Structure 1
Amino acid sequence: MKTNKLITLALSFMALIAITSCVEDDDYAVPNILGTEENKALANMLATSTEVDFEYAKNLYNSDPNNDGDNDDAIPFEVENDIYIKGYISSSDATGNFFKEFYIQNKAENPTSAFKVAIDQTDTYNQFNKGREVYINLKGLYIGEERTGSGVITIGGTTEFDSFGGTVDRVNQNQIKTNILRSETTVELTPLTVAFADITDAIVGVFVQVDNVEFADDLNGERYFDAVEVFDTQRTLQACGGFDYSEISLETSSFSTFKEELLPTGNGSLRAVVSKTFDGSTHVLALNTTDDVMLDNARCSLFNIDDFTVTFEEDFENFGGLTNEGWTNVNISGTSTDWFISGFDNNDYARISAFSSNNSEANVWLVTPAITLDADSDAILTFDLEIAYSNGIILSAYISEDFTGDPETATWEPLNAAIPYGVTNTFGGLEPISAIDISAYSGDVHIGFFYEGSDPSATTRYHIDNVRVLSN
C-alpha cells in the first residue's frame, strides 16, 4: 500500500511538471491544457460579438468629460456591449523590460494604433508572445488610463478613483481566461519605420524602427542602466539631422536582463516599442531585446555650415507680399484659409490655420519662387517652424521640378520633413526642422508647403520662417 501511494504521488508530481511546462514553455504554442477550452471560447466570441477598430474603442474613453482642461473628472469607460478588438502583441517581457503589461497593435504591418493592456500576470511572454494574434473581448472590461493625463489609453479589468480622477487597474486572472483569447497564429511583425518626430501618442505601443541613430556622444562606456537609478534609466538616442541632432530617450528597467550590457557606440537601426515615461510627460522607446539594436556602422557627422553657401533664403522681414516676392499661395479647397504674413515680437513669418474658417476642407499650398540647383552640388533645405493649438500633423513639404504656377498640375515629390506634432493651446517658439537633403534634384525647383486642414477637426496653426537652401 505504501509503495502504491509513493507511485501515485510520483505520477501526480510528474503530471504537475508536465502541465507547468506546457503553460510556460518558450515555443509559444497554444498550451494543450487550455487549447480546446480557449479555442471554443474564441469561436463563441466571434459568433456572438462584433469587431470594432482600435480608434473606435479608444474614443469610448473621454479623459475630460467636463471639458475644463484637466483630468480630475476622468471616468474609465465600462464596456457593456458585445464588442472585441483583434491585434498582434508588440511587446515582450521575456527580458524583464515590461512588467505586468503588454502592448497590442492593430496590424502586423503598417500599424496605425495600439493599446496598452494592464494585466495581473508576470512572464506574459509565455502566453502572449510577441507577434501572437490576440482577440480581446471588451465586454466587462474598462478603457481609460493607468495614470490620469498620461495619454496612454489602456485596457483594464477594474477601476480606481482618487482626487486625480479615475484610472483603470489590471485585468485579473479570471478575466484573462474569458476576455483575452489567442488564436494559433503568430506572425513576424514588420516594424513601422519612423523618424523621432513621427513618435506621438497615436503610436504608443507600436513596434517601430528608427534608422541612422546612435547613442549620444557622452554615453561612450555607459551601460543601458545606471546603477544609481532605482527604477528606470533613460539614455539619449540621437539622429543626425543636418546641422543638429534630433533626440529621443531609450528607457530601460532596473529589472531588465540586459541592463548591465554596454551601450553600442556605432550608428544604425534600432527596433523598439513606443512608450512613455511614468508620468506620461515624454515619449520614450523601450526594447524587447538587445537583438533589436543594430548599431554597427560608423557614427554620423553633422554638416558644417562653413562648407555651404546660401542659394536661397527668406526670413519674411521687410517682405513685400507673397505675390510680389514670387511666392504662390493657392487655396485648393476652402474659401477663407490662406497663408499670410504675420509677426510677433519684431519677427515676421508665414502663418496658416483653419481655425474658425468653417471649411470642411482647407487644402492650401505655399510655394517658393524658383530655386536653381546645380546637378553636381549637394543641397539641403532648412526652415524654422512654430506649432500651436495642435490637433494633428497636417503640414507637409514637397519639391517639384516642373511647377509652372498651378500646384495641381505639377509633379510633387514628398520631402522627409520631420514635422512634429507640436504643443496644444500654447506656442512653443520657432524651432529648426532637421535639414532635408535635396541633392537629387537639379535645375529650377520649387519647394511647396501643403496644409491639409479642416474646421474644427484639423486646425493646427503653423508659422514658417527662415526658409533656406544651402549648397556646396
Structure 2
Amino acid sequence: MNKAIKSLKFILVLIASVAITSCVQDDDYTIPSSLGDEENKVLEELLLTGNEISFETVKAMYTEGDFIEPVDTNDYVKGYVTSSDQTGNFFKEFFIQDSPTNPTSGLKIILNQVDTYNQFNLGREVYISLQDLHIGEERVGNGVITIGGGTETDQFGTTVTSLNEIQIRQKVLRSSVTETITPLNLGLTAINGDHVGLLVTVDNVEFADDLAGENYFDPTEVFDTQRILQDCSGFTYPQFILETSSFSSFKNEPLPILNGSITAVVSKTFDGASLVLALNTIDDVNMENPRCTLLDIEDFEVIFEEGFDNSLGAWEVINTLGTNEWYASSYSGEGYVRGSAYDDDITLEMISWLISPSIDFDANENERLILQVADAFSNGQPLKAYYSNDYTTGSNPDDATWTEIGASEIAALPENTGFFNNVYDETGLIDISMITGNAVLAFVYDSDDATISSTIDLSNVQILAN
C-alpha cells in the first residue's frame, strides 16, 4: 500500500513538473538558436511570403485624426532594439531603429509584457508582422508613431493599445542576430522629432548648475522627473530634458556634477509636448571632465552683419523653381526677408536663393555664423544654408558648387505652427571656419516638391571671428 502511494505521488510530481516546464516554455525568452524553434518557423514563413517595408512607409500608414484601421496587407518591418527595461526606466514598451549604424528613423512598440529585455535585448534584430496590427499614437497628439495590437476611442480621439500575449508571440519575431548599436552622435541642439526612438550620444554636456546634490529622481514627483542637461556650444546654455521614471532602479543615484557624455534614447514626455532623453542604464553616463564655460562675446568681433532693414541691400534673389521668392519687408521696426511657398490655400513648388555679396574669409580666423529666424504656420523646415567659392553674380546658382552649412543648427530652431508671433530665435554658432578665399553665403527656401509651406523670416545674419 505504501509503495502504491509513493508511486502515485511520484507520478503526480512528474506530471506537475511537466506542466510547470510547459508553462515556462510558453514564456521562454531565451535566444532562438535553431530553425527548429517555433518562433524561427514563423519568421521563416514571414520572410518567404511577406513584403518588407520601410519605417517611413509604416509611419505614413497613420494620419492623425483618422479612424485607425488594422493593417490588411502581409507587410513586415525590420528593426533593431534601442531601449531596455532592465533598469525599469521603460515599461511595457521598446523602441526599434532602422539600422544599427547611422539610423534615420525609429518606431515604438507597446506590449502587455514586462521585462522585455530578456526577449528583446538591446541590438536584437526584430521583425514585426504588421497584418492585423494597428499603427497610430499611444496618446492623441503626442506625435510618437507606435505599433499596437488594437485601438480605443475617447473624447480626444483614437489611440492604439498594447499587443497581447498571443500577438507578441505571432507578430513580434526575433532573428538570431544581435547587433552592436552605434549611437548617433548629436549635439543637444541637433536633436529633433525625427530622432524619436533612436539611441544617441551627446558629448560635452552637464547637468544644470542648480542641480548639484540632486538625484536622478525627485521624491516629490509621482511618475517622472525631468532634469535639465546643458552644453556650452556658444554664448548661452542650450538645454535638453533627461527624464527618469519613478520605477527606475537608479532613481536615487546622485546626478554627476562634472561634464562629459550621455547615451540615451530620444523619446517624448507623456503628453508629447517636449522631446526628452531616457536612459537605459546610468552606465551610459560618463561625466568625468571639468565643467565647461560659455564663450565670451567680448572675445569675438562682428566682421559681417546684415539686418535687412526693409531692403535686400547688396543681396541677390534668384529662383531656380517656381515664382514665389524671398522679399524684403518689416514689422514694428524689425526688418527681415520673408520666404513662403503658401499661396491661396495651396503649397507651391519653390526654390528661392538669397545670396550674399562676396566675403573675404582669409581676412579672419575661426569664423562663426549666427542667424535670427522667425516662422509661422510651420509644417516643416524649408531653410537651408550654403557657401560657394565659384558662384558668379547674376548666374544660375545650379551652375556653381555649393557646400551645406548649419544643417543641425537650423533643424534645431523651434517651430511655430500658429500665427505670426514675431519671436526671432537665434541659431547656435554655426562653424564656418573651413571657408577660405572669397566666397558667398546663400540661404535657400526649398518647399521640398510643394510639401512645405512654412513662412520663414530671416532678420539678421552675423559673422563673428576671434
TM-score (norm: length of structure 2) = 0.89
Q: Quick check: 1:76–1:145 contact (8 Å CA) kept in 2?
A: no
How much does 1:438 deviate? 2.5
* Matched pairs, number: 455
Residue in 2 that maps onto 1:69: none
Residue in 1 that maps onto 2:341: 354
5 Å-filtered alignment, 1:15-414, equals 16=20, 20=24, 29-30=31-32, 36-65=37-66, 75-317=67-309, 319=311, 322=312, 325-332=313-320, 334-356=321-343, 361-374=349-362, 377-405=365-393, 406=395, 407-414=397-404
Amino acid at match of 2:239: E
Separation (CA, whole Å) in 2 of partners of 1:455 and 1:399: 23
Q: Quick check: 2:33–2:176 contact (8 Å CA) kept in 1?
A: no
Residue in 2 that maps onto 1:467: 461
| Larger mean Cα displacement after TM superposition, 266-275 or 157-166 | 266-275
Q: Quick check: 1:355–1:456 contact (8 Å CA) kept in 2?
A: no
How much does 1:351 deviate? 1.1
Amino acid at match of 2:402: W
| Larger mean Cα displacement after TM superposition, 340-349 or 199-208 | 199-208
- Over 3 Å counting, the alpha-carbon distance change for 1:13 and 1:157 in structure 2 is same
Percent of matched pairs sharing the same residue: 46
Q: Quick check: 1:337–1:364 contact (8 Å CA) kept in 2?
A: yes
Q: Quick check: 2:97–2:107 contact (8 Å CA) kept in 1?
A: yes
Separation (CA, whole Å) in 1 of partners of 2:91 and 2:237: 32
Separation (CA, whole Å) in 1 of partners of 2:177 and 2:318: 50
Give the secondary structure class of the aligned counterpart of 1:130. Answer: coil
Residue in 1 that maps onto 2:418: 425
Separation (CA, whole Å) in 1 of partners of 2:437 and 2:51: 56
Amino acid at match of 1:262: P
- Over 3 Å counting, the alpha-carbon distance change for 1:312 and 1:424 in structure 2 is same
Q: Quick check: 2:364–2:465 contact (8 Å CA) kept in 1?
A: no
Amino acid at match of 1:391: N
How much does 1:318 deviate? 5.4
Give the secondary structure class of the aligned counterpart of 1:57. Answer: helix
1:171-206 superposed Cα distances (whole Å, 9 cap, x missing partner): 000111111111111111122233334433333212
Separation (CA, whole Å) in 2 of partners of 1:77 and 1:197: 36
Give the secondary structure class of the aligned counterpart of 1:109. Answer: coil
Q: Quick check: 2:75–2:130 contact (8 Å CA) kept in 1?
A: yes
Separation (CA, whole Å) in 2 of partners of 1:383 and 1:295: 31
Q: Quick check: 1:191–1:208 contact (8 Å CA) kept in 2?
A: yes
Separation (CA, whole Å) in 1 of partners of 2:448 and 2:90: 39
- Over 3 Å counting, the alpha-carbon distance change for 1:445 and 1:264 in structure 2 is farther
How much does 1:236 deviate? 0.8
1:64-100 superposed Cα distances (whole Å, 9 cap, x missing partner): 24xxxxxxxxx22311222211111111111111000
Separation (CA, whole Å) in 2 of partners of 1:315 and 1:38: 63
How much does 1:435 deviate? 1.3
Give the secondary structure class of the aligned counterpart of 1:434. Answer: coil
- Over 3 Å counting, the alpha-carbon distance change for 1:266 and 1:118 in structure 2 is same
How much does 1:249 deviate? 0.1
Structure 2: gaps of 5 or more residues? none
Separation (CA, whole Å) in 1 of partners of 2:387 and 2:36: 55
Give the secondary structure class of the aligned counterpart of 1:116. Answer: strand
Structure 1: gaps of 5 or more residues? 66-74
How much does 1:359 deviate? 7.9
Q: Quick check: 2:360–2:437 contact (8 Å CA) kept in 1?
A: yes
